[in-house]
Amino acid sequence: MSKLDHQGTGATSDAVKLELQADCYAGIWIGHAATTKDPQTGVVFLDPVTPQQLSNALAAAQAVGDDHIQQQSGGGVNPDTWTHGSSAQREKWFTAGYQKGTLAACDTFSAPSL
């Protein structure tokens, strides 16, 4: 992370790539926590994720997209100022992590498109 450009902004900036990677990791965590058992108790860490809970997680990702926040503030959408990614990008990367469940699926820095 020390090699990242933390000052840059924009739809393909390192800041956006890092945030989208975090969204993807969140998806991985939720998927695995619902299937991984505590070695001491034998109980899974989370109950299986319901469709409603998954829908709520995607809605939360959408709500914190830079485009959505800019629209809600009454200003225009300016991708050049983004630091977290669009609503669609955030949903896409959370879903990728949840469905694929691998760190390789979260490589936003090598992805041909975000």
pLDDT in tens, 64-93: 999 999 999 998 999 999 999 999 999 999
Q: How many structural domains does the chain have?
A: 1
Q: Is residue 3 part of a domain?
A: no
Residue 34 lies in a domain: yes
40-61 per-position pLDDT tens digit:
999 999 999 999 999 999 999 9
Residues 67/86, Cβ–Cβ less than 8 Å: yes
Q: What is the DSSP letter of 104?
A: G
The reply to whether 8 falls in a domain is no
User: What sign results for the dihedral spanned by CA atoms 50, 53, 55, 57?
Assistant: negative
pTM tops 0.75: yes
- What range defines the domain where residue 20 resides? 14-106
Residue 6 maps to a domain: no
For residue 101, which of 25, 34, 38 has the smallest C-alpha distance? 25
